[in-house]
Each structure stands twice: as C-alpha cells, then as structure tokens.
Chain A
C-alpha cells in the first residue's frame, strides 16, 4: 500500500513546465526510495515546505551543531513546526569544500551520493553561493557519521560563521585561453593555509577568497570577496594579424569598428586600412573586451601575474562595497611568490582580526578607518593604481608631505634600478 503523504497542492504546481523540477525530485525520494527513513524525511520536508508556501513564512531556526574537533562547517536547522512535521525536525546541512573550479568524476559523485543516502536525506546541491557542496538534511548524530565517512576519502568541511570561508575559482587555465594565472594553485595555497580559521570560527565575520584567471572575473570576485585575486599581464597583448584579417573578412569592417575598436574604454585600438590592428598597449587597461570578441586573434601577453583587490561584500551593514586595488601587479611564478601571497593574506586577516568590530567585514573596516591606515597596518605602500582620482577634499593635515614625497622618489629609484 502506498504511504500516506502530506498534501502538497501548491508545490504540485512547481511540477509543471519544462525546467527540471526540484519538487519532482524530492517526491521521487518520498515515493520511490527503498529506505523508509528517506521516504519519511522527504515527505515531512515537503509538508513543511507546503506550509511555508501557504503561510509565506520560513520555519527553520539555527542552533549549534558541529563535528568533533571543529567549530563550524555545519548549518544547523531545527524546525519550529517539528510537532507537525516530526520526521524532518532536525535537518542540518553540511558544507563541504569542492576542488577549485568544481571538478568531479562520475565515480566520485556516485560515492558522495551513496554516502549521503546512507546518512542523510539524499538531497544535495552543487554548489551553494559560498561555493560549498551542500548536503542538505540530516540529524545531529548522522552529521558526524557522514563527515567521518567522506573525510576518510578526501573531503573536508567548508566554512560557516565568522571564519575564513570556502574559496572559489574559475575554470581558468584548465580550459580557458584567457587565463593569466594558475587559479588552482592560488586557490589552494590561500585557503589551505587557513584550515584552522575555516574550521574554528573566531574572526570578526566571514572572510572570502575568490580567484578569477582574467579580468572578465567570472567568479564575481571584486563584488563578492574580501580577497580577490585576478589574473592579468604587463607586456603587450599578442596579436595574430592574419586572424584579425580573417575576422574582418568574415564580419566586415563596420562590425569590427562598432564592436571592437570603438568599444575599447581607452581608445587603445586602431583598425588600419590594411585590416591589421594596432594596439596602444601602454594605455590598454586589460578590460578583456577585444579578446572576448576575437579570441582567435588576440591573447594575453607573456608577462603574467595577478591584481589583488581587498574588501568586496554585499549590503549588510553599510551598503555594497567593491574590492579595491591593494596590489596592482604581482608575479606568481616561484614558490617564494606564492609564499608572499599567503603572507599578505595572513597580514590582512591578522590586522582585521585585531581591528575589525564584531560582525564587521574587512571592507567595512577599511571604510571606517580609511584605506591609508589599512595599508600602513599591513605594510603596503600607496600607489596611484589604488584610486580613481586623488583626493577632492582639502580637509586633511599634510605636515608629513616632504617625508612622504621622499618615500615616493626612493621607491621610484628602487624600481628603476631593479
């Protein structure tokens, strides 16, 4: 005999239409899963979700659940309507760190699915917005069992709470011609240096690393991370003039003028009468547009490195902040280069841990104390690449001017002799 189910008339509406339905998926677990525990949990979950749809309210509350040895990584969920929907009254999520750029073999996906079926609800998401695999729905006890099982074959929890969070990076050098960096190495060097800070939340608030291989910034790292690392290059972009001519022949001069040269933000491109392209590399800002339009003809140069921007975040509490430039260019070739990248991250997190207020993101702290104080705190010198324009307000005390000008000339001389 079929099991008796909570009615779901509103959720049933989400089974209509061509896009894959998450409701149909949960119902398959409810109706067809061989394990009675999963059938009951998913039935109860659908019951509570239907109740939310009817009343337009959420009914989960947080709490404290972790695994032995860690303080975070679990999103605890206890139902506020557990009496009505008892089988899913504990429905915690485990956040698990994927590889950079989210690679899996089908074998590994099956193995993870099998483990989760054993200990959890059988529902998972690849991935949450912080970048974790989300294993959605289990009890406090099974949280530990599931973690123990997958931890044995190479998976570790991600961040939740005021801690270093799971990092994210684009597909990059693994499959993209625009990549100017080894996103994989940057991602793992950074986040794996802070495993203690990932697993044991003790910072003012969250801290996110995101890595994009080029200024297209497919990871939204400037908008969404405290520490954005973006690949770029310093020398001339590579131009294959034969391919330029082929684009002109295929698309027409008008198309190239309207869609490439006139769209360059610094007017650094000229389409010549012979259908070749001249690039004013000194004024190119590496925006990527012309490379995006003509990927066969234009490529990043060879002198590659990264730009680092600090302090991006969303609204709470003082409004949206973009990350802003703290390191205009940094080579990442040797092990020492990577070590100094990690040291910069340590310096920044230490300074913020010391000076940030409770629940204050790094960017908010910078806003409160000013960029210059932040730079002095982490031992980084000012650079005109850090601003859109010099200050407009004359309300500033400048009796250290001569000293600061000396520092500038000394740095310039050092650069020239390097």
Chain B
C-alpha cells in the first residue's frame, strides 16, 4: 500500500466517559452523600437528592474471550441497565438504579459462573499482567497463578471476614507490573543471566545494556572473537534488568527462577502514610500449572492476619503493631540474612532503639 492510501489517525486521545455512564451517576456527579453495603459484592450509593445506585461487583477470568464478553453484556442487558465499568483490579461492576434488580443480577452472574464479591473487607482479585501468555520477559504465568490462587481464596472474595481489605498482586518479573500489594507474589531470579555470545552484538545496543544494570556488573567484552557483554557474577543481583533490552542475556530459568512473597504494600493514606511491600518468603518453586507451594504460604499469612489483626488494620499495620519477630513466629516462615536490606539507604530499616517485644 502506498503512503497516499494510508488513513491518517484521528488523535482523539482519552474519550469522554459521560457518554457511557449510568444516567443516575451522570445526574448526580459530585452529589453523592454516603454509601453502605447491603451484602458482599453489592454497594449502595445515596445522593443528596435521595437518588440511589446499586453496584454489583464480580470477579472474572480477566483474559476475556469474546463469548464471555458477550455473556457479560447479555447479563447487563437483561438484568441490569446496560452500564458497566471495570475496577483497577479487573473486576466488573454493573450499575443499576433499582434495588429490585440486585438479586436477579447477582443470581444471573452466579449462574453464569462469575463470582460476586470483592467489596469491603474481602480479598479482592489479584491484579496482574500477561505472563507467558503474552509478555516478552516473563518468569511465570500470571493468569495461571491468579486462577490457582483465587480457586482457593474464593471464600475470602465472597465474604467480609478480613480485618480490612486485602489487595493482592502478582508479577512475572521484578518490573512488578502487578504493583504494590498487601500480599504480592513476584518472580525472583536466583542465578545470573546465561549469555548467548553469538547473538549479543547483533541484537543488543551494548552501552545501553551496561547502563541498565543497577549494580554496574555488566561490561563490554570480546568473547570468542565477537563483541559481547560479560557479567561479574559476584556482583550480579539477578534482577533481570538487562534482559528486556538484550534478550540474549537469558535470565529466566526453569529451575532457578523462583517466586518470592512480599507483604504490606498499602496505597492508602488512611491512618498511616502509604507503604511499600516487604520481603517475607522466597525460594518458592515456580510450579505450574497450579503453584501449590505459593498458595499455601499466602493462605498461612492470611490465616494469621485474620486471626491477629484488629478491625481496619491492613496487613502492614497489623505487622507494625505486633512486630516483625512475631510475624515470623506466627507464620512459621524463616527469617534469613536476605530479609535485611543492605543498600545505601538500608539504615532506615534497621532497629536503632531498644524497642523489642518479649
């Protein structure tokens, strides 16, 4: 096709959402007074003028085939008002303006195999990205991990049994697309990249690969007469940052790419300031298709959180109150030298006091 035949794009950018918004929401934009929670998975919002909307939230498989998408639309047309939104964790929300529509909608979703829940103090669905299905650098498969874990945590999605909400995430490399979570299940490589020296000079822009390394462990080198890169394996922290710009530096390894679990990431400013997640467990086998070892540790942490935390405490607040020694004691997880931060800013995480629980 010649250039002259090509269609110029319309650079419309981000579309206006009001055209797809439930009319009751449009009418009451900025005029909401309060909400309550009639049942798990259902929210009721009340406006100053007395208008109400009910939101029914459901978990889906996230990677939606067009048949499933149409089923969700059919339910929206038949049992709701035809207005849908998706949450940041890929749960679907139907908005209706009549309480009488709630029960039939919940039933239709449940009958079709979707899971109504994920509101208030529940375990909401895991946020995640593509993994082996579509990513170019993944150490594991996010969708499979999520499916396996949610099968086991489904009762916590559909109930309000947690002290506060639990946001979980999973990520297939240390870029951590899944984001911060109360519990995060992330790939942790444990061996330096294996380098295909035949390919490096053709595929990689060597100076920019050198620049990507956080610990300056990569340097240009001639290997077998070819320009390539070499890694100082004593310095290498196995982060995988060199792999995206230089695929011949293969970081993923069937045996040595493990899973690690991090807890206490909290985005909210409620009570305390936002926090980042902290390492609690590593060396967990990356074990498709069901990853049982990772799920078992997640369940153990959730069990202790549920038993030990006060109402409204997120996981980070619970551990701050009981202390990290107690956390490792109650969960039975080992505390190792790898739990101690050892970079330049690490002193901020050391205990410079006599505050010790006995």
Residues of chain A touching chain B, judged by Cβ–Cβ distance below 8 Å, are 10-11, 13-14, 16-26, 28-29, 32-33, 45, 49, 52-53, 55-62, 67-70, 75, 77, 91, 93, 97-110, 113, 116-117, 122-129, 134, 136-137, 147-148, 151-152, 154-157, 166-168, 170-171, 173-177, 179, 182, 184, 187-188, 191-192, 195-196, 198-199, 215-224, 258-259, 263, 265, 285-289, 292-293, 295-296, 299, 314-320, 322, 357-359
Contact = CB atoms under 8 A, between A and B. Distances in A.
Contacts of B176: 314-315
Nearest to A317: B214
B154 A25 contact: no
22 contacts: A13-B289, A17-B151, A25-B63, A53-B141, A56-B288, A58-B172, A68-B7, A104-B86, A122-B65, A126-B86, A152-B10, A156-B11, A167-B14, A177-B34, A188-B13, A220-B179, A222-B267, A224-B180, A263-B312, A287-B270, A287-B271, A358-B208
A29 B66 contact: yes
Contact of A218 (B16, B88, B152): B88
B35 A129 contact: no
A25 B6 contact: no
Interface stretch (B69-77, B223-231, B299-307, B326-334): B69-77
B139 to A, nearest CB: 8
B61 A10 contact: no
Given A315-B174, A322-B276, 5 more contacts: A91-B134, A99-B15, A109-B69, A156-B10, A295-B34
B105 interface: no
A146 to B, nearest CB: 12
Contacts of A152: 10
Given A105-B84, A106-B84, A192 B13 contact: yes
Contact of B135 (A60, A176, A359): A60
B283 interface: no
Given A109-B69, A156-B9, A127 B269 contact: no
Nearest to A69: B9
A191 B53 CA distance: 29
B3 to A, nearest CB: 8
Contacts of A104: 20, 83-86
Contacts of B134: 60, 75, 77, 91, 93, 136-137
B18 interface: yes
Taking residues whose C-beta sits less than 8 angstroms from the other chain, chain B's interface range is: 35 or more
A18 B151 contact: yes
Contact of A100 (B17, B140, B179): B17
Contacts of B179: 129, 220, 223-224, 314
A17 B153 CA distance: 11
Contact of B241 (A20, A191, A316): A316
A117 to B, nearest CB: 5
B211 to A, nearest CB: 7
A59 B137 CA distance: 8
- The SS class assigned to the B binding surface is loop
B312 A154 contact: no
Contact of B269 (A14, A33, A216): A216
Nearest to A63: B136
A259 B33 CA distance: 22
B305 to A, nearest CB: 17
B32 to A, nearest CB: 4
Contacts of A199: 9, 11
A316 B92 CA distance: 31
B322 interface: no
Contacts of A314: 175-176, 179-180
Contacts of A21: 61, 147
B290 interface: yes
B55 to A, nearest CB: 7
A170 B85 CA distance: 11
A259 B274 CA distance: 19
Contacts of B17: 99-103, 174, 184
A407 B10 CA distance: 47
B72 to A, nearest CB: 8
Interface in B315-347: 343, 345
A355 B309 CA distance: 46
A230 B90 CA distance: 22
A188 B70 CA distance: 29
Given A28-B65, A61-B247, A154-B12, A53 B289 contact: yes
The 8 closest A-B pairs by CB, nearest first: A99-B17, A17-B151, A25-B65, A52-B132, A215-B269, A56-B254, A103-B20, A220-B267
Contacts of A156: 9-15
B252 interface: yes
Contacts of B38: none
Contacts of A75: 134
Contacts of A91: 134
B9 A29 contact: no
B62 interface: yes
B159 interface: no
B85 to A, nearest CB: 5
B267 A223 contact: yes
B286 A56 contact: yes
Contacts of B141: 49, 52-53
Residue with the greatest number of chain A CB neighbours at <10 A, chosen from B70, B73, B88, B178: B88
A95 B272 CA distance: 35
A195 B268 CA distance: 30
B264 interface: no
Residue among A113, A127, A137, A357 with the highest chain B CB neighbour number at 10 A? A113
A20 B16 contact: no
A184 B12 CA distance: 16
Contacts of B138: 58
Contacts of B15: 97-99, 154-156
A288 B132 contact: no
B114 to A, nearest CB: 6
